[in-house]
A and B are shown apart, each in its own frame.
Chain A
């Protein structure tokens, strides 16, 4: 929070001074044992739009480029390594401190996902996170998001070596589950076992107009505030939970809609069609919920 406060003050100071000038960013990407790594730096700036610039390093991993002064997210990546990011504030001129990105070498982790009965969980999505690491920008090939096959076997191709990590599984109609901390000590780990999570809840219902006629094709959005005890912090901040707790479907020909794999908690559900809206709220725990949405 201290860093955030500094960032906020910096923005304020920048505003007060009418900052427009650019600043020079320079540094190096290194890998294991400080070896230079050829790669690139993505600079992500949020200014009305999300603006992404790509700056390649030279053969020694060195980079130097100019950016408008202000906050920027820098993401360093290189094939064969797991990326890293830093949020910085670019100051006008050449005096920004040199930056170093140290990338972990990537290795492969393979294993299998089972359900509670010991049967393979087919096509579960498996992903990886690192305890204590908060990332704003991640590459699919290193965050996992890999699907297991029909027998539940999976391989993640870019897991950081030498850093504790967690594996997460999302099986159909089930809530996310996670392993305890694991560490990849070399280029490969085989035999990781994940248990799929418990079944999620079902929320279903119907969208009608004020006369009770079914409305087909309405956009139905479900948002969930999961109960505090439902998920660990790593899961709460994960992309998979963000998607699980904010879903959109269209109502069917009979106006019906269904959401599966819903965690327990407070739900808000809205429907919209042709400029008319409807909304409902409920607290769900343990049993399916049925909500009729009447457009007005």
Chain B
């Protein structure tokens, strides 16, 4: 590393709280499916078997009763294997059959499964958001490199992209009264967002979708599949302490729009 680069890095560190580019980075999933033996919050307690809404804990935030991992059952007339019928999944979510190893709810049953000849479950909704992070990156001041008076370098253009080395989602059957139950943890390989920014901000850009590469709790067999991606929703430059504005008064390179 040459001395000039080192000095630039040192200067950047001095002004680490000065000017920043703030990014909104979301974690997404799609193409959700559930197969094999699932047993969470099944009969024997106060639970409303077999359907339930799932939440996902991930590096992007905590599990919550929302649309983090939508299933397919929403306000549907269902009948179990014992002939008991009712309208289920009527609390506004898209739910999963989470008691697939119980005779009453076992496959095949076209009321309780919606795929693979009524033996598996696939989500009927599109992309879900696991969570969102707001991250601030220390950046250099926006500057004009070609002398046209408009900033074309620095600011939000500094970071080339966002690299997430790996990720995961731990899927839970949510219980409003007590004790969410872990279904499985699904891991994903690295993802990369190439950023599309001007010095002043970034437009939305996303990574490629990736498939699971590992499972845990239990490590096998896989019970769940989904694709995962990250997206930079926006980026915005800010200079709350007017550091760059002060540079602009003395150095014409920074006096750009």
Assess whether B163 is interfacial by the CB under 8 Å rule.
yes
B134 touches A137 (CB 8 A): yes
CB of A15 within 8 A of CB of B6, answer: yes
**B214 at interface, CB cutoff 8 A:** no
B226-240 vs A, CB cutoff 8 Å, 1 = contact: the mask equals 000000001011101
Q: Does B1 contact A (CB under 8 A)?
A: yes
- Check B200–A139 contact: CB distance below 8 A: no
Query: Is residue A277 contacting chain B, with contact meaning CB distance below 8 A?
Result: yes
Interface segment among A43-51, A111-119, A188-196: the answer is: A43-51
Contact B17 A4 (CB under 8 A): yes
Q: Does A32 contact B (CB under 8 A)?
A: no
State in angstroms the CA–CA spacing of A157 and B13 once bound together.
Answer: 34
Contact of A137 with B257 at beta-carbon distance under 8 Å, contacts A11-B6, A221-B200, A223-B200 already known: no
Q: Is B221 an interface residue (CB 8 A)?
A: no
CB-CB contacts below 8 Å: A64-104 with B:
71, 77, 79-80, 87
Q: CB < 8 Å: which of B3, B7, B63, B133 contacts A140?
A: B133
CB distance B165 to A141 under 8 Å? no
Instruction: Give a binary string over A241-283; 1 marks a CB under 8 Å from any B CB, 0 the rest.
Output: 1110110100000000000000000001010100001010100
Q: Does A18 contact B (CB under 8 A)?
A: yes
Say how far A261's CB is from chain B's closest CB, in angstroms: 15
Give residues of chain A (1-60) contacting chain B, Cβ–Cβ below 8 Å: 4-5, 7-9, 11-12, 15-16, 18, 40, 42, 44, 46, 48-54
Contacts of A225 in B (CB 8 A): 242, 245
Chain B interface, >50% SS class: mixed
> Which single member of B14, B135, B159 contacts A137 (CB below 8 Å)?
B135
Q: Out of B133, B161, B168, which one reaches A138, CB within 8 Å?
A: B133
Of B32-40, B54-62, B97-105, which binds chain A?
Answer: B54-62
CB distance from A279 to the nearest CB of B (A): 4
A239 at interface by CB-CB < 8 Å: yes
Q: Are A50 and B163 in contact (CB under 8 A)?
A: yes
CB-defined contacts of A16 to chain B, threshold 8 Å: 6
Chain A residues closer than 8 Å to B168, beta-carbon distance: 54
Least CB separation from A235: chain B residue = B240
- How far does the Cβ of A137 sit from chain B's closest Cβ, in whole Å? 5
Whether B159 contacts A8 by the Cβ 8 Å rule is: no
Number of A-B contacts (CB under 8 A): 142
| Distance (whole angstroms) from the CB of B248 to the closest CB of chain A | 11
Interface residues of B in 14-41 (CB under 8 A from A): 14-17, 20, 22-23
Known: A11-B6, A141-B64, A239-B134. A49 touches B13 (CB 8 A): no
B150 within 8 A of partner (CB): yes
Q: Which residues of chain A come closer than 8 Å to B64, judged between CB atoms?
A: 141, 157
Q: Are A44 and B134 in contact (CB under 8 A)?
A: no
| A279 touching B238, Cβ below 8 Å | no
Q: In the bound complex, do residue B238 and residue A245 qualify as a contact, i.e. CB atoms below 8 Å apart?
A: yes
Interface residues of B in 54-76 (CB under 8 A from A): 57, 59-64
Q: Is B160 an interface residue (CB 8 A)?
A: yes
Distance in angstroms from A250 CB to nearest chain B CB is 11
Find residues 240-257 in chain B having any chain A CB closer than 8 Å to their own CB: 240, 242, 245, 257
Q: Which residues of A contact B13 (CB under 8 A)?
A: 4, 7-8, 11, 71
Residues in A neighbouring B57, C-beta threshold 8 A: 79
B5 proximal to A (CB < 8 A): yes
A195, B145: Cα distance in complex, Å:
45
Inter-chain contacts of B159 with A (CB < 8 A): 46, 48-50
- Assembled-state Cα–Cα distance A51/B17 (Å): 19
Sample of 5 further A-B pairs with CB below 8 A, known A79-B62, A270-B150: A4-B17, A11-B10, A145-B134, A277-B149, A281-B257
7 closest Cβ pairs, A-B complex = A15-B6, A242-B238, A140-B132, A8-B10, A79-B62, A279-B257, A8-B13
Q: List 16 A-B contacts (CB under 8 A).
A: A8-B11, A11-B6, A11-B10, A46-B137, A49-B160, A52-B163, A52-B164, A54-B59, A71-B13, A139-B131, A143-B134, A221-B200, A242-B22, A242-B236, A270-B257, A277-B148
Mark B residues whose CB is within 8 Å of A. 1, 3, 5-7, 9-11, 13-17, 20, 22-23, 57, 59-64, 131-138, 148-150, 159-168, 198, 200-201, 234, 236-238, 240, 242, 245, 257
